[in-house]
């Protein structure tokens, strides 16, 4: 059977959306409606706000064009199912010439991300030991882009016999909402338990009140697994942060709440 070229299929459907609107606007609408449809499987405090933004974005388009958004999503899902070892959205972002050079948005080629994940994952023994002790391992990319490093980490973990869907907690942050949503969508589709934060990781790291936080559907399924981890560091958990994340926060020298740096970041 002939191999499908998912990038070409995606580009074709995407092109059918861009007559009246710029590629940039369509890309961001696609990301938002897809991300909101994943996040709103759970009725959270953000549910109404996300539903409103979802409707305001999708209702700009005529009915027959609206149907192209789930079509794009299904091509993306099939592409990642066919080959999880790739940064599909990051590649499309470059291919469609949407990346913002001024923000340093040159995403790491997948094979380099894979090499870095192999180096940072450590030995099977140390991974097993951490899982025995805490029940899970965590990985953080504080400038996540479309999530290439974290996608690679998930695939490398699986290769080492680790069920990344319930044994790895993925933490991601990016100053740019477009990038963060790409990461959120890809991690959601790969079934990662992930927290993706939109915000400046230097000035407003982690759960700063100005930051937007997106939890993947698998995070909601597995959050209880990430509880009860041992921590020797002082931890302050803002009230809207699930307690499961407490172990991943600590105070830095300036008294700011930051995410502990672990893994490939």
Ligand X SMILES: C[S@@+](CC[C@H](N)C(=O)[O-])C[C@H]1O[C@@H](n2cnc3c(N)ncnc32)[C@H](O)[C@@H]1O
Contact residues: ligand X, CB under 6 A: 103-108, 141, 143-145, 148-149, 173-176, 179, 200-202
| Cβ at position 107, least distance to ligand X in Å | 4
Q: Inter-axis angle of helices 68-82 and 177-189, to 10 degrees? A: 60
Please say which residue, 106 or 224, places its beta carbon nearer to ligand X.
Answer: 106
Nearer to ligand X, 41 or 203 (CB): 203
* Residue 43 φ/ψ region, left for φ over 0, alpha for ψ in the -120 to 50 degree band, beta for the rest: beta
Complex with ligand X: residue 36 or 198, whichever CB lies closer: 198
CB of 117 vs ligand X, minimal distance in Å: 11
Pairing of strands 193-198, 168-174: parallel
- Residue with Cβ nearer ligand X (17 or 157): 157
- Would you say 17 or 189 has its CB closer to ligand X? 189
Q: Which of 200, 219, 222, 220 is nearest to 211 (CA)?
A: 200
Cα gap 219→110, rounded to integer Å: 24
Q: How far is the CB of 38 from ligand X (least distance, A)?
A: 20
Considering the complex, state which of residue 50 and residue 208 has its C-beta at the smaller distance from ligand X.
Answer: 208
Q: Please give the DSSP secondary-structure letter assigned to residue 136.
A: -
Q: Of all residues in this chain, which one has the CB nearest to ligand X in the complex? A: 145
* Least spacing, CB of residue 151 vs ligand X, in Å: 9
Query: Is 105 or 222 the residue whose CB approaches ligand X more closely?
Result: 105
Interatomic CA distance for residues 105 and 24, integer angstroms: 15
Q: Is the dihedral of CA 47, 52, 57, 58 positive or negative?
A: positive
Q: Provide the minimum distance between the beta carbon of 68 and ligand X in the complex, in angstroms, as a whole number.
A: 26
- To which H or E segment does residue 214 belong? strand 212-215
Q: 3-class SS at 80?
A: helix
The set of residues, in sequence order, having a beta carbon less than 8 Å from that of 118 and lying 6+ positions away, is: 156
**DSSP 8-state assignment for residue 44:** -
CB of 206 to ligand X, least distance (A): 11
R_g over Cα of the chain: 18
Shortest separation between residue 170's beta carbon and ligand X, angstroms = 13
């Amino acid at each position: 059977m002939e191999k499908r070229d998912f990038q070409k299929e995606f580009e074709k459907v995407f092109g059918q959306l861009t007559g009246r609107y710029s590629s940039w606007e369509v890309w961001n609408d696609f990301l938002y409606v897809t991300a909101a449809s994943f996040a709103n499987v759970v009725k959270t405090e953000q549910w109404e706000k996300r539903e409103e933004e979802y409707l305001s974005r999708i209702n700009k388009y005529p009915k027959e064009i609206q149907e192209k958004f789930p079509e794009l999503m299904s091509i993306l899902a099939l592409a990642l199912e066919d080959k999880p070892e790739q940064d599909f959205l990051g590649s499309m972002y470059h291919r469609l010439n949407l990346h913002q050079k001024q923000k340093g948005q040159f995403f790491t080629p997948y094979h380099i991300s894979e090499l870095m994940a192999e180096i940072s994952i450590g030995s099977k023994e140390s991974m097993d030991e951490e899982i025995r002790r805490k029940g899970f391992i965590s990985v953080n990319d504080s400038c996540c882009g479309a999530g290439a490093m974290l996608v690679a980490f998930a695939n490398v973990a699986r290769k080492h016999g680790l069920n990344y869907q319930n044994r790895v907690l993925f933490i991601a942050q990016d100053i740019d909402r477009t990038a963060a949503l790409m990461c959120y969508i890809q991690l959601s589709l790969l079934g990662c338990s992930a927290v993706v934060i939109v915000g400046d990781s230097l000035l407003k790291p982690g759960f700063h009140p100005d930051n937007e936080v997106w939890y993947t559907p698998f995070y909601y399924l597995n959050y209880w697994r990430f509880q009860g981890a041992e921590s020797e560091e002082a931890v302050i958990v803002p009230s809207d942060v699930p307690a499961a994340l407490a172990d991943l926060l600590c105070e830095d020298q300036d008294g700011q709440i930051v995410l502990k740096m672990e893994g490939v970041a």
